[in-house]
């Protein structure tokens, strides 16, 4: 029995998120504006069949596939939303389910830290080498979710809503983590948009 853990459709990848995903992608690189679908299943090995079905259903490209013992995730993308949605529908039919059966998104941490000190900024930047740097004096928004894949939807919606800098998006493992930085008002708006997004799920 294959469990659908995460099913997240992103209508148009925002520039920072698309670029960040490109730094961690082992497959075909997404570009800003691409539609994207993030699917996570359990057990992990089942993701190979899921990827095969999705790729044969339309013209989508496989951006990432991660196979762990417990969970497996894959990311497909294409300029055409209809291609991405078509592949998603084929996967759901194979699983004999609907996207509404996915595990609900649970927020594990949600916080805004205002006016980061230089020491704090330096340590955050050392730990995160794939995103942009956080600067001293900026505010920081942190969000953690489970399952992990939902964090991509939060990041994309936050980037749409506010002028913030994407520092980290970790969407695999037990928890997804998002860190964004910017002026306090922008960070607060991004936090609101991200929180609203995951609550809609």
- Nearest-angstrom CA–CA distance, 154 and 164: 13
Residue 57: per-residue pLDDT? 98
> Which residues, listed in sequence order, are joined to residue 184 by a DSSP beta bridge?
none
User: Given the structure tokens 């995730």, which residue do they identify?
Assistant: 73
Asked: is 106-200 a CATH 3.30.70.1710 domain? The reply is yes
pLDDT tens-digit map of 106-128: 999 999 999 999 999 999 998 87
CB 41 within 8 A of CB 47: yes
| CATH fold of the domain at 3-101 | Alpha-Beta Plaits (3.30.70)
For the chain, the domains span: 3-101, 106-200
Please enumerate in sequence order all residues whose Cβ is within 8 A of that of 174, keeping only pairs 6 or more positions apart, or say none.
Answer: 146, 148
pTM: 0.93
Sheet containing 61-67: which strands, arranged edge to edge? Answer: 3-10, 35-42, 72-78, 61-67
Copy the structure tokens of residue 163. 């002028």
| Chain center to CA of 68 | 17
pLDDT tens-digit map of 10-41: 999 999 999 999 888 888 999 999 999 999 99
> Do 3-101 and 106-200 share a fold?
yes
pLDDT tens-digit map of 146-201: 999 999 999 999 999 999 999 999 998 889 999 999 999 999 999 999 999 999 98
CB 186 within 8 A of CB 164: yes
> What phi and psi, each to the nearest 5 degrees, are found at residue 162?
-150, 160
Question: How would you classify the pairing of strands 61-67 and 139-146?
Answer: unpaired
């Amino acid at each position: 029995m294959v469990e659908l853990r995460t099913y997240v459709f992103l209508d148009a990848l925002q520039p920072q998120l698309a670029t960040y995903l490109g730094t961690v992608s082992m497959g075909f690189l997404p570009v800003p504006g691409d539609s994207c679908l993030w699917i996570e299943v359990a057990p992990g090995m089942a993701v190979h069949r899921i990827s095969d079905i999705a790729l044969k259903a339309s013209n989508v490209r496989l951006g990432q596939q991660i196979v762990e013992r417990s969970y497996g995730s894959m990311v497909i993308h294409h300029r055409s939303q209809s291609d991405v949605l078509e592949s998603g529908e084929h996967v759901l039919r194979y699983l004999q389910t609907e996207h509404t059966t996915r595990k609900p998104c649970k927020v594990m941490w949600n916080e805004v830290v205002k006016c980061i000190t230089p020491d704090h900024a330096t340590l955050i930047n050392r730990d995160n080498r794939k995103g942009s740097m956080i600067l001293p004096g900026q505010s920081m928004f942190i969000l953690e979710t489970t399952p992990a894949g939902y964090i991509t939807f939060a990041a994309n919606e936050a980037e749409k809503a506010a002028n913030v800098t994407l520092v980290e998006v970790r969407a695999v493992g037990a928890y997804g983590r998002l860190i964004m930085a910017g002026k306090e008002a922008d960070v607060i708006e991004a936090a609101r948009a991200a929180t609203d997004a995951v609550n809609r799920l």
